[in-house]
Chains A and B, each alone.
Chain A
Amino acid sequence: SQQGEEDPQALSIQEGENATMNCSYKTSINNLQWYRQNSGRGLVHLILIRSNEREKHSGRLRVTLDTSKKSSSLLITASRAADTASYFCATDGNNFNKFYFGSGTKLNVKP
């Protein structure tokens, strides 16, 4: 399988704390993306990092990519209750032109 796998499966933190989620994948990639899903419905794109990038920021989000370890991390700083959702990483599997998703990390931010 070329799917990414997120870790941990579930994470519960207090509002204001930072949340870190990890993703590991199996094949070489062109890019890796992180998505958020509320209430088991449509996913929303958060951030894309290219294979030649090591770190990227977007607001309170920080993504790192280590292609040698085939892993990525998503850091949400100063979390809010509204950040409660499931977070998925998606890879393109290099030559396969489609998005592969992991099983997700369910984040619960307690107010």
Chain B
Amino acid sequence: GAGVSQSPSNKVTEKGKDVELRCDPISGHTALYWYRQSLGQGLEFLIYFQGNSAPDKSGLPSDRFSAERTGGSVSTLTIQRTQQEDSAVYLCASSLRAATMKTEAFFGQGTRLTVV
């Protein structure tokens, strides 16, 4: 597609349920990032995929969070046993190369997750 696509755009779930958020990056982009943004706050780094390298999971807040990137393209962020504090906008971004390679990140429109 022309840009980074995220689905769903909005998700309301009950506390304790699992959710899956999907990201389709721009074709050919080797780097993929997940960020979380709470209301009125900055972007909190969650996880980073670069090509076939092992992902950088250093930002995942707990073991309830996990992410996969299949075939170097589509990524899924899974949150198990959701809690109310997980409510936020989850943003996915992709870039042609790693950040240090002077490349810009292209963002999807995000998934707004509400845990009730």
Contact = CB atoms under 8 A, between A and B. Distances in A.
- Asked whether A and B interact, the reply is yes
Nearest to A6: B42
Interface residues of A, number: 28
Given A45-B104, A45-B106, A96-B100, 15 more contacts: A30-B99, A41-B110, A43-B91, A48-B102, A48-B104, A88-B43, A90-B99, A94-B100, A95-B100, A97-B48, A97-B98, A98-B33, A98-B48, A101-B43, A103-B42
Contact of A100 (B45, B93, B106): B45
Contacts of A102: 42
B56 to A, nearest CB: 7
A36 to B, nearest CB: 11
B65 interface: no
Given A43-B91, A97-B50, A90 B41 contact: no
Contacts of B25: none
Main secondary structure of the interface of A (DSSP, over half): loop
- Of residues A3, A45, A50, which shows the largest number of chain B Cβ atoms within 10 Å of its Cβ? A45
A12 B109 CA distance: 26
Contacts of A30: 99-102
A33 B45 CA distance: 16
A95 B101 CA distance: 10
Given A98-B48, A100-B45, A42 B100 contact: no
Contact of A103 (B33, B41, B89): B41
Contacts of B56: 97-98
Interface in A14-58: 30-31, 33, 35, 40-45, 48, 50
Interface size class of B (residues with CB under 8 A): 20 to 34
Contacts of B39: 40
B102 A88 contact: no
Interface of A: 3, 30-31, 33, 35, 40-45, 48, 50, 88, 90, 92-104
8 contacts: A31-B100, A40-B37, A41-B89, A90-B99, A97-B31, A97-B100, A98-B31, A98-B98
Contacts of A94: 100
A92 B100 contact: yes
